[in-house]
Chains A and B, each alone.
Chain A
């Protein structure tokens, strides 16, 4: 939802930065944990190295253009960071202290009891405007992603994967010959790879020869494209209309839709694309238009076109070499 502000707001950038991370009062190495560019903090192996951690503190700063701040119609400027965790329904605000014109510093705390999966960090600048207090006048453009599941601070949000032997699980027995399946576990999607399929693990994880690598590329893009389609379909079912308004489903369903809808409906803004999608599901005569769009979008997400063209090129080269030899 785009908000129209009935008062003046900051036009310059508001920048939120995470400078340091403390786990139970111990500073941890930031080089491999914090990614400034993509605004990600990766905290996966806390599970291994400090399994009993209880408190995480992030030292942050917020900057805005000081000249603009000084000339606006606002009073009682303050700055807060808001920490949200969608799964834990967490919503905490931490107020920062001024640190010179256009700059605030402070600390946000995240507790083990509440934070799970990924949490987000936003900065908001608040002021009294035209006699009304608590007005939002500026916000950080992109939230920081505090990711408890990521090993490296990259924005790539990969699907969780697990190798299991389908024949050993009651609920998977009837799929014993399928090489992979998308399922959910604790409400989150997970890709099961079937270790009972002879040679699958070898190709996907330890491909050595050129041929094996080519097969791996084709296979992995196939797995990815299918997984994206399945994620998308599950997300479509999670959508509802409330009155005439299409409702974003929240959780990973929403993440998937927000990521894929621009590829399905490139000409529509997200809210309209969602309405279009729900409409298409309900009214669509045979769904073929939707399916076509979906095949395209999951292809984009899995980078299938590029992978296939690379593999075909390499095959051509190999063939040519053999002729020369």
Chain B
């Protein structure tokens, strides 16, 4: 009996070290779509961080297949904003755990190399080429899956994933802003989403203009003093992580609920939104016409 040979998918998530990943990511894999040596990879995989059910691979695999199906025919980049909150909800990690590139390597190389090709591949001469090994194994803000997990972690407002979906609908937030220290202060991240929400910033150029201005002003303005944050509830975070086996699976149409570890103080977001709006009005944005003097509000000078 012959059946179409489909590589067997791992049942639990493990870790692949960067050096093993580098070794298998040959130019023919990255550029010509050659398949990865799955047997060798599985032989060199380490076990997951602990033996809890959160490392079950099937749910995660299911989510990725769902994504590819749902956004079939659309630009794959548009899937980021749907996938990021659901990925964060499905794969429950602490930040310390999420810094382990081995886990992300495993997902990209052993569980879903087809997804990496689908999301980042370009058709060239009848072949799918990704061109960047870093989408399989690379820096946290570049790797196919870790960038989405971190975007969700940095932009969620406690259990509310709506700001994540908004932030991930703008590729320049994911490509540029996410790397800045600035974003790590939760009220600052929420204020930037608020500007997107109000359509005060729209294009990639807007985003870049804003973050450059905000970053420059951070030399003299202390955002964490203007918009203080509240401490997070880490017990709630741990409860949420433990509940992975009992919580419902992600919903296709509704945003899931993240850890109830405390939302960002509304007043802080308001104040920073005002502050950034003023900064942005005077910021040089490529291609933007200089603002008329008359509607220039009380600007906060950097």
Contact = CB atoms under 8 A, between A and B. Distances in A.
A134 interface: yes
B219 interface: yes
A6 B301 contact: yes
A216 interface: no
A87 B301 contact: no
Given A3-B220, A136-B220, A92 B100 contact: no
Contact of A113 (B40, B94, B150, B154): B94
B19 A171 contact: yes
A147 B22 CA distance: 28
Interface in A104-119: 109, 111-117
A154 interface: no
Contacts of A169: 44
Contacts of B22: 184
Interface stretch (A77-85, A200-208, A224-232): A77-85
Given A87-B99, A88-B99, A116-B96, A186 B18 contact: yes
Interface string A26-69: 00000000000000000000000000001100000000000000
B226 A133 contact: yes
B221 A89 contact: no
A1 interface: yes
Interface string A113-145: 111110000001010000011111000000000
A170 B23 CA distance: 10
A172 B234 CA distance: 40
Contact of B185 (A93, A126, A133): A93
Nearest to B150: A89
Given A88-B95, A91-B181, A80 B101 contact: no
A113 B234 CA distance: 8
B126 interface: no
A102 B228 CA distance: 22
Interface string A211-252: 000000000000000000000000000000000000000110
B301 to A, nearest CB: 7
B290 interface: no
B17 interface: yes
A136 B19 contact: no
B154 A89 contact: yes
Contacts of A279: none
A89 B139 CA distance: 13
Nearest to A54: B234
Interface string A242-282: 00000000110000000000000000000000000000000
Contacts of B139: 187, 251
Contact of A93 (B19, B43, B179, B225): B225
A93 B229 contact: yes
Contact of B44 (A88, A126, A170, A184): A170
Contacts, number: 113
A251 B184 CA distance: 15
Nearest to B98: A88
B284 to A, nearest CB: 12
A91 B181 CA distance: 8
A62 to B, nearest CB: 14
A195 interface: no
B118 interface: no
A88 B96 contact: yes
A95 interface: yes
Contacts of A185: 17-19
B99 to A, nearest CB: 4
A117 B100 CA distance: 11
Contact of A135 (B18, B222, B228): B222
B224 interface: yes
Contact of A3 (B95, B98, B154, B219): B219
A314 to B, nearest CB: 38
Contact of B179 (A78, A171, A250): A250
Given A136-B222, A171-B44, A184 B95 contact: no
Contact of B225 (A78, A87, A186): A78
Contacts of A115: 96
A80 B96 contact: no
B77 interface: no
Interface string A164-203: 0000011110000000000111110000000000000000
- Nearest first, the 5 A-B pairs at minimum CB distance are A91-B184, A3-B219, A93-B224, A113-B94, A134-B226
19 contacts: A5-B220, A80-B224, A82-B224, A84-B181, A89-B153, A90-B95, A91-B184, A112-B96, A113-B237, A113-B238, A114-B96, A117-B99, A126-B225, A132-B300, A132-B301, A133-B225, A134-B225, A184-B22, A187-B140
